[in-house]
């Protein structure tokens, strides 16, 4: 697969950076919610009650796209960006801090997407892509290693859940790319599917307990989770994947740990240590390489191009 043209890459990169800003906020706001007045089940319920209702007209108009997805593809999309993925992340945030969620969920996920895309979509592993994936994984693991309590602790449960969330998201990405589904259509399938399958169970188990939370807490989750993350970010992500490919688009999500660190610095006053900055730099360089960023032309390559 050829690297994207510079203008195409720039457009895809802008979509990716916008989505990353939203996802970094999603992790911080989710952590805030599950450690204060809401449970992971409440956060997921708020998210899909809002997004499901807003996107219901879109799904009613465009359908499930079974001719392109099949039931397996529909299941991959509902699980990968619907309630199962959100619950994996939110429950993980009960055991591990937001920085770990940012590192392991979106940080390692591009590797999972690359493996699935190579097997299903036949996207090749170029030298630049392989080196970039190595940098992304190394940087993500370094963030956890430098700030974590080590293996065998309660944080390990959170780490496993974050990785599981990354795996189901990878399945969603490949299914969307294979079916040539746009981001809004995929978001509608995931949101309405979760509204139908998850909300009734949540209502029976949790009842109206969520209404005991402060109204501002509920409103914050409704806007960030139900509108920005479940609709706007997925629309941006779908357009980015369409421009950069499954692996290249997914790689941009790995910038979330860096953006989360910057948001933590600005909002919470949490200053990353020197090792964190090195890890963030490694992730950023890796994302550029994997996503298809234009590479400098070496003298020999420039000479060959001149001769042509």
CA-based angle 144:27:17, to the nearest 5?
95
Task: Check if the beta carbon of residue 293 is closer than 8 Å to that of residue 175.
Answer: no
Tokens representing 196? 């139908």
Q: How many whole angstroms from its chain centre is CA 186?
A: 14
Tokens representing 85? 């993925």
CA distance 187 to 184: 5
Model confidence pLDDT, tens digit, residues 28-70: 788 888 888 899 999 999 999 999 999 999 999 999 999 999 9
CA distance 255 to 82: 21
* Confidence (pLDDT) at 265: 67
Query: Cα-Cα-Cα-Cα dihedral of 140, 146, 148, 153, to 10°?
Result: 100
Q: Where are the domains of the chain?
A: 6-293
Task: Check if the beta carbon of residue 170 is closer than 8 Å to that of residue 112.
Answer: yes
Model confidence pLDDT, tens digit, residues 174-196: 998 899 888 889 999 999 999 99
Tokens representing 176? 């969307």
pLDDT band (50, 70, 90) for residue 148? low
Q: What is the DSSP annotation of 30-49?
A: HHHHHTTT--HHHHHHHHHH
Task: Check if the beta carbon of residue 264 is closer than 8 Å to that of residue 101.
Answer: no
Checking if the pLDDT of 209 tops 70, the result is yes
CA distance 61 to 261: 40
pLDDT band (50, 70, 90) for residue 101? confident
Of 22-26, 99-103, 137-141, where does the model show the most confidence? Answer: 22-26
């Amino acid at each position: 697969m050829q690297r994207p043209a510079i203008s195409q890459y720039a457009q895809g990169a802008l979509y990716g950076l916008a989505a990353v800003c939203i996802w970094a906020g999603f992790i911080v706001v989710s952590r805030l919610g599950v450690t204060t007045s809401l449970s992971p089940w409440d956060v997921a319920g708020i998210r899909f009650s809002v997004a499901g209702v807003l996107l219901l007209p879109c799904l009613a108009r465009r359908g499930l796209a079974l001719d392109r997805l099949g039931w397996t593809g529909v299941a991959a999309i509902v699980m990968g960006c619907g309630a199962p993925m959100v619950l994996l992340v939110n429950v993980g945030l009960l055991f591990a801090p937001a920085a770990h969620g940012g590192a392991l969920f979106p940080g390692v996920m591009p590797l999972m997407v690359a493996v699935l895309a190579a097997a299903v979509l036949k996207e090749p592993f170029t030298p630049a892509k392989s080196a970039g994936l190595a940098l992304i994984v190394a940087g993500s693991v370094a963030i956890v290693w430098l700030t974590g309590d080590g293996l065998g602790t309660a944080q390990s449960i959170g780490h496993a859940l974050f990785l599981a969330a990354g795996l189901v998201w990878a399945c969603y990405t490949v299914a969307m790319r294979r079916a040539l589904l746009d981001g809004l259509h995929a978001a509608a399938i995931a949101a309405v599917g979760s509204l139908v399958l998850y909300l009734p169970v949540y209502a029976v188990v949790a009842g109206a307990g969520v209404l005991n939370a402060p109204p501002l807490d509920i409103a914050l989750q409704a806007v960030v989770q139900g509108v920005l993350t479940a609709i706007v970010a997925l629309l941006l992500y779908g357009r980015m994947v369409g421009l950069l490919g499954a692996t290249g688009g997914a790689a941009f999500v790995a910038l979330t740990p860096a953006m989360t660190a910057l948001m933590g610095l600005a909002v919470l006053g949490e200053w990353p240590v020197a090792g964190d900055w090195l890890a963030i730099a490694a992730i950023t360089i890796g994302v550029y390489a994997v996503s298809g960023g234009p590479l400098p032309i070496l003298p020999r390559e420039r000479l060959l191009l001149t001769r042509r």
